[in-house]
Amino acid sequence: MKKIHFLFTIHNHQPVGNFNHIFRQAFSQAYKPFLSLLEKYPLIKTTLHYSGPLLEWMETEEPDLFARIQALVEKNQVEILGGGFYEPIFSVLREPDVLGQLNMMSGFIKQKFKTIPKGCWLPERVWDPVLPRLISAGNLSYTLLDSTLFLQAGLPPEQIHGYYVTEREGHTTALFPINMKLRYLIPFEQPHTTIEYLRYLASDEQEIAVTYADDGEKFGIWPDTYAWVYEQGWLEAFFKELEKNKHMIHMMTCSEYLKTHSPEGLLYLPTLAYEEMMEWALPAEAVTRYEDMLQNLQHLQLKDKYSSFIKGGYWNNFLAKYPESNHMHKKMLLISERFEAWLASIRQPPTNGTIETARRELYKGQCNCAYWHGLFGGIYLNYLRHAVYEHLIQAEKIIDTSMHADNPWIEYKVFDFKKDRSQDILISGKNLNAYFSPRDGGSLFELDFKPCSFNIANTLTRKMEGYHRRLKLEHEKNSLQQNNHQPVSIHDMTKVKEAGLQNRLIYDWYQRYSYIDHFVDEHTTSDAFSMSRYSELGDFVNRPYSLKKIEQNSSRDIVTFVLARKGFVLQNHQEAPIYIEKNFHINDSLMEIRTSYNIVNCGPTDLELCFGVEFNLTLLADEDQFRYFYFPENSSKKLFMNTKRDFMDVASFGMKDTWNGFGVSFSMEPNANIWMFPIETVSQSEEGLERTYQGSTLLLHWKTRLAQGQEQKRSIKLCLQKFIGENEKKI
């Protein structure tokens, strides 16, 4: 008689920083009804994984669920998987943090569910060959990986079942291959289709096991799935089919199978993830070539034959694909290193829990979702990026307070922060962090207001994505017709949430940082500038500046430094030499950055110039009554953050965030003209292609005549304030 062991595994996750109403919706439409049906069918065994952010939310909002899960564990119907508590990608963490995250999850599971996890969920199933040593050090014995990785290792499809063993430095880990076809069948095809597939895999001669593991959000949160899975009864019908076929389909948890069955063999896997992830990790231009190659192979009927030799990118390359991801990652590494050094320096550990609080804040800042982008919004969601920065800054503040108490302080460090063999300038104080990149036009790429744990420079540059070409194909511009009978996997959907979105595709040719120096033609319009369709006359925007000097005045909490570049501007089709020196004066106690520009005409002819300094900042929301621009001469007028306007002869203006309780003010000498517009990206989400606000651009500019040998000065003061409601309160 045919028999097959079915290892049914569900992964449930919500990211750090997600909105409470999304947690609530996911709980009500997916996690709770799934568990309720599981309780009705005691023969259905499953291995469950809940990520730390979701566990913490349930502990606060739905604590009764813990007892229900524990009861299922005690009946041996459910096994709980361990893993990194805040769902980090292990391959980009420092080893102490990998072990810390694993141990935090194991400790939580032991305390709340009275069981010790034996397996480890790998976030996004990203595999690195070093992991067996780390997983073993966390007292975990197995993990689950997509069958794609086993194909890449050279196994034929018929041998990808059960589990294999791999090792690193003698430390072993069992690897369960996740059946890819099952991932697309469940829950999108009728239950009997899955049963027939399991029947096809079952064997009369040997006991084999097939593993299904995928997101719990497929069961109620993905588009159209709640009606299909619960209201139309797919999940209950599936459970009934499994029970009806129990003579053939034997359900087990992963650890049960591991305990009772031998491995299929020893295997070493390459550094990969699931198929879609490997495609998403490619640069945008490579994605289009990759898709074309797959289509050509499909047309030649060769795709299935050679797919095992085809792979995309590597997850870590998201750090190269998105510089903003790299900035968050290197900030995380910096705080992790500081945390470890702080622990080593403490002679008498405090008893007030500050160490564990700082550790938890650091680990929250490692949640993977904001660091990459594929089918879901990921790095394109500014509130997820904000959560990463917020928690990293919170951890940083705990360390700072331990070292400096409540005293004023400031310090600087010049080193290769971004790990690209360039020198960056990091200035930190009690109130501010200001990170500068001399190589990128002497620009500012991070500005943290520590009292509110807010990085106001947390913006995103507009860039091409491989899926943008879908908007240019006529037959894919409109939303697909909805199937009234059953849902379609979101991997197969192409939806557009806004008409004319293809006209919103704008790509920047430089990173949208701040203190970027421009020379533009006097006929350039703000529209042309906002769409990156203008002529840049100078070579200062993204070219290197030299650090001339840097000094610290600790007694006054001030750091000053000078960045300079000798470049050119195009005048009458000739390159005219220009020297720019920008002097930064950062006063942490006053929470201000004063910048004076010296612009020198080094050529033999007079110049007519339009010189501008660009800022890209965010208060996160584009249209929100609590976040707005204001002008002192008309204090009653508040402009949303997505305002697109030109202003003439402005002495000062500001931004206010009354929700978080801080403001940013600018003053210019002499008065400046301002171009103001939002930076909006076109990105993919589970609901379709959509426009997303990333930040606001401000170009402060002056038209001027500069005689040969003449020097002109421009100054800008940026000041941050902490306040309650509308009343500013200096701290």
Residues forming the active site = 124, 215
Compute CA distances 462 → 448, 513, 695, whole Å. Answer: 22, 12, 11
Query: Tokens representing 468?
Result: 């943008």
* CA gap 220, 205 in Å, rounded: 38
Q: How many CB atoms lie within 10 A of CB 272?
A: 26
DSSP class of residue 478? S
Dihedral in degrees, nearest 10, Cα atoms 395, 401, 403, 407: 150
Cβ density class 120-129: b for 16+ within 10 Å, e for less:
bbbbbbbbbe
Contact 110, 132 (CB under 8 A): no
Contact 720, 433 (CB under 8 A): no
Find the farthest-apart pair of alpha carbons in the chain and give their distance in angstroms, rounded: 95
Query: Tokens representing 507?
Result: 């790509």
Contact 601, 708 (CB under 8 A): yes
Compute CA distances 44 → 64, 113, 193, 220, 234, whole Å. Answer: 22, 19, 18, 19, 15
Query: Tokens representing 474?
Result: 């006529």
Compute CA distances 605 → 518, 703, 711, whole Å. Answer: 20, 17, 13
Query: What residue ranges in 13-149 does DSSP mark as E strands?
Result: 46-50, 78-80, 82-83, 119-121, 142-146
* CA gap 451, 591 in Å, rounded: 11
Q: How many CA atoms lie within 13 A of 98 on its CB side?
A: 23
